[in-house]
Structure 1
Amino acid sequence: MPDIAVFRPDDGRLARAGEHLETRGATPVLDPMLEVAPTGNTPRDDADYAVFTSKTGAELVSAAGWTPGDATVCAIGESTRVALETEGFDVGVVPGEYSSTGLVDALRGEVGGLRVEVARSDHGSDVLLDGLTEAGAYVHETVLYRLTRPEESGVSTKRAAAGDLDAALFTSSLTVEHFLDAADDRGCRAQAIEGLNRAVVGTIGEPTRQTAEERGIAVDVVPDEASFESLADAVLDDL
């Protein structure tokens, strides 16, 4: 059974990721690299479009009692769409490409002169804001939550440094950065990178792949669909 490192937040997603790997005959190495810290902010309610990029954002605005008014609600990714609809929001736009670039392309001809509210974490890509602004929209960003690294994170860095991982699944650029920060804390950054480069490394999306490779981590797998299950299955198939 291959040992596969998983870095999802420990808010239910980590456990579900582990269960998925176990059903595929793998041993998950659960090492959460992200922790959600809500800001208490809520989006504006006078926009023409309201953009959400995560399940967490959908849940936070629902809990706060926010309503979109007359805005068309947009979701990047199927998991975000499902979360928004589960919370009772009607989703009007889901780009074919589950990325900031994909949403900009989907809205480019629609948002000129209109107000667009972007509600997300503090680590969102500038690609979304810049692209919508260039398309002629008046863009406002609300930071719904901050993403920090849990103090206890890092067990996977020692496993990687010892050559004791068969694969690692990075779901965002921030999980890559936090993995390397945890390795720095343990004095094993170079060895951890070497260990990952002897394993199979998968990333969700090109931005995450680029972040990893810029830091010396060779990426073997980038699935076509931007979901954890697709990432895990593609890495297992590669193994």
Structure 2
Amino acid sequence: MSDDAPRVAVFRPADERIDDAAALLESLGADPVADPMLAVEPTGAVPAAAPWVVLTSKTGVELAAEAGWAPGDATLAAIGPATAAAAREAGWAVDVVPDEYTSAGLVEALADRVDGERVEVARSDHGSDVLLEGLRAAGATVNETVLYHLTRPEAAGESAALAAAGDLDAAAFTSSLTVTHFLDAAEERGVRGGAIAGLADAVVGAIGPPTAETAAEHGIDVDVVPDDADFAALAEAVVEAATDGQGTTDAETTDDTSSSR
């Protein structure tokens, strides 16, 4: 790795995804700091039977499929392309993918179709209330099933210490929860203020507007939000900005609740 390679923190879940993310960053010419801020703990539950089923992450699809669940005759909605692709790989037909890959986007896509319907929402324990409240406001009877919990790994926080020391060039946040877990890890290490100050001198990327908004609420300025809401696009944009010393805030959509990515 070149001495000039930007040091980029990445926070994907503590499984093969963090390894894949680090490998991608390295292939882009970065020096990755793999600091998982999410761990997936399955509950063992599967989506309840309903005429409409909404899935909000690739992880949820995979856990449901591994448990032997299938949508049957239900109309299946997926929050974004990654979730839809995982569902199709499981052999399921996907009927609805919103134009905007957020909870609000799902509500907009389903609002005219679910009045009087029973809708099952299967997701993590950190799902947005926007989805449940929006569907209920549209006249649906909504049930939520928690397929998995998202926790913070005990060892998380190397990136916060590096940021506080001024030794981090960039950070790529893939969900609102990775932001809050980063700050919680920094707090535990006694470097929260320093870590936020360090990020001010680094390139900060967020996978979509909700993640960027969470960062801003906590005093973290976001420099990069890619047009395409997937990690590859985020990584490329962050490395380019860190290499050039310039950021961009051009953004449209996000599969933000698939943050367990």
* TM-score of the alignment, normalized to the shorter chain, above 0.5: yes
* Superposed displacement of residue 19, structure 1: 1.4
Identity level (%): 62
Matched, 1:93 2:96: yes
Say which of 180, 184, 188 aligns to 1:181: 184
AA aligned to 2:12 is R
Q: Could you tell me which amino acid in structure 2 is paired with residue 106 of structure 1?
A: A
SS at match of 1:124: coil
* Structure 2: runs of 5 or more not aligned: 243-261
Aligned partner of 1:38 among 8, 25, 42: 42
Greater relative contact order, per chain length (Cα 8 Å cut-off, separation 6+): 2
State the TM-score, normalized to the length of structure 2. 0.89
The answer on 1:229 being equivalent to 2:232 is yes
Shift of 1:17: 0.8
The residue type paired with residue 3 of structure 1 is R
Residue 102 of structure 1: aligned partner:
105
Q: Which residue number corresponds to residue 118 of structure 2?
A: 115
- Hey, what's the Cα distance between the residues in 1 that align with 2:240 and 2:99? 24
In the TM superposition, residue 43 of structure 1 has moved relative to its aligned partner by: 1.0
Shift of 1:226: 1.3
Post-superposition Cα deviations, 1:166-209, rounded to whole Å, max 9, x if no partner, equal 11011111101100110011100000000011101011121111
Post-superposition offset of 1:69: 2.5
Distance 2:240 2:9 in 1: 16
CA deviation vs aligned residue, 1:57-99 (integer Å, no higher than 9, x gap): 0111011111212211111111111111111111111111111
Among 28, 41, 59, which residue is 2:32 paired with? Answer: 28
Q: Aligned pair 1:151/2:154, yes or no?
A: yes
How many Å apart are 1:27 and its aligned residue? 1.0
RMSD, aligned α-carbons: 0.9
SS in 2 for 1:146: strand
Counterpart code for 2:41: A
Question: 2: CA distance between counterparts of 1:76 and 1:35?
Answer: 21
Tell me the residue number matched to 1:166.
169
1:183-198 aligned within 5 A: 183-198=186-201
**1: CA distance between counterparts of 2:136 and 2:226?**
29
Q: What is the DSSP-based 3-state SS (H/G/I as helix, E as strand, rest coil) of the residue aligned with 2:166?
A: coil
Q: State the partner residue of 2:12.
A: 8
Cα distance in 1, alignment partners of residues 20 and 100 from structure 2: 24
Q: CA deviation at 1:136?
A: 0.9
Q: Which moved more, 1:70-79 or 1:179-188?
A: 70-79
> Do the aligned partners of 2:8 and 2:239 also contact (CA within 8 Å) in 1?
no
CA distance in structure 1 between the aligned counterparts of 2:237 and 2:97, rounded to whole angstroms: 23
**Residue type of the partner of 1:56?**
T
**1:238, distance to aligned residue in structure 2 (A):** 2.1
Choose the corresponding residue for 2:130, options 127, 130, 138.
127
Once residues 40 and 78 of structure 1 are traced to their aligned partners in structure 2, the CA distance between those partners, rounded to angstroms, is: 25
TM-superposed deviation, 1:11: 1.5
After TM superposition, give the deviation of residue 37 of structure 1 in Å. Answer: 0.5
TM-score for the superposition, normalised by structure 1 = 0.97
CA distance in 2, matches of 1:156, 1:2: 13
Of the candidates 61, 64, 67, which is equivalent to residue 67 of structure 2? 64
The farther-off stretch of 198-207 and 186-195 is 198-207
